[in-house]
Amino acid sequence: MDVILSVWRQTGPNTEGGFVRYEANNIPDHASFLEMLDIVNEDLNDRDEEPIAFDHDCREGICGMCGVMINGQAHGPQLGTATCQLHMRKFKDGDTIRIEPWRADGFPVIRDLAVDRSAFDRIVEAGGFITVPTGSAPDANLIPVPKPAAEASMDAAACIGCGACVAACPNSAAQLFTSAKVAHLNLLPQGQAERYTRVVAMVDEMEQWFGACSNHGECEIACPKSISIDFIALMNRDYIRAKFRQGRLAGQR
C-alpha cells in the first residue's frame, strides 16, 4: 500500500521545526507503524538524507519507549495499543498520515519525533518505590495479598510510562501516569508504610512539570494499557488524607 506521511522534523531541542512530506510506497499492510517508518528511513538513508528520529525499543507493547501523535490521536486510531503494535492495515491505501511528537512543556522535543520524558523518571524517583533492605529474594507468598488488591494493583502496574496520557491531555497533566505509579504500591501491603509520604512526594514532583486534571478523561482513552481514571480519584483521596492526617499517630511523616 502507498501512504503519504507528513512528519514533524526538527534537528535539535532549540531549533525550529516543521512538517515534511514523504511518500511511503510499497508498504506491506502487515507492517507495524514503526516498521513502516523503518522502510521510509532506509529509503532516506539510500538517498543520503537524515532518517526520521523516533523512540522505540521492545516493539511488543511493553517497554513504553515508542509513541507518537498519529492524525491527532496518541498511538494512533486503534485504542488500547502502543504505536509499535499498530499495523498499517488500520490505514487505507492513499491515506495522508500526520505524525507529530508528544507536545507538552514537560516533554521537550529532542529531535524529530523523540521527546525527553525524564520528568516521568523524576516523579518515580520521588516515591515510586518501597524502602526495603535488599538481599536474597523474599519467600514467595510470605506476605498475604488480598486477591482484589492484587488485581487492582496489577491494573495500575500495567502502566508502561509512554507518556500518551500527557500527550492526549488538553492540560498536559500527568495525573494518570502518577496515579498509576502511586496506586500500584499504595494498594499493596508492602506499600503501606510509605503510603502517605509517597503520594505527597510524587504529586508535588508531578506538579513541578505538568498541568492539573480537569477530568476530561482523554488520558484513559489514549492509554495503550487502558488504565482507568479511577486511579486518579484514589491518588487525590490519598493526597488529601495525607495532608489532613495526624502524622505522628498514624506512624507517618
In whole angstroms, the minimum distance from the beta carbon of 60 to another protein comes to 25
Cβ proximity to another protein: between 63 and 171 the closer is: 171
Please choose, from the candidates 118, 89, 120, 114, the residue with its C-alpha nearest in 3D space to the C-alpha of residue 100.
Answer: 114
Cβ proximity to another protein: between 55 and 100 the closer is: 100
Cβ proximity to another protein: between 90 and 103 the closer is: 103
CB 156 within 8 A of CB 238: no
In whole angstroms, the minimum distance from the beta carbon of 234 to another protein comes to 7
User: 3-state class of 193 per DSSP?
Assistant: coil
In whole angstroms, the minimum distance from the beta carbon of 47 to another protein comes to 25
Q: How far apart are CA 24 and CA 28, in angstroms?
A: 11
Please choose, from the candidates 163, 153, 165, 158, the residue with its C-alpha nearest in 3D space to the C-alpha of residue 222.
Answer: 165
Strand partners, 98: 6
* Binding residues for another protein (CB under 8 A): 8, 17, 19, 69, 71-73, 98, 100, 103-107, 109, 170-173, 203-204, 207, 209-218, 220-222, 229-230, 232-240, 243
In whole angstroms, the minimum distance from the beta carbon of 48 to another protein comes to 28
Cβ proximity to another protein: between 8 and 22 the closer is: 8
Cβ proximity to another protein: between 34 and 97 the closer is: 97
**Helical segments of the chain, H only:** 33-46, 118-127, 147-157, 164-168, 175-186, 195-209, 218-222, 230-244
In whole angstroms, the minimum distance from the beta carbon of 21 to another protein comes to 13
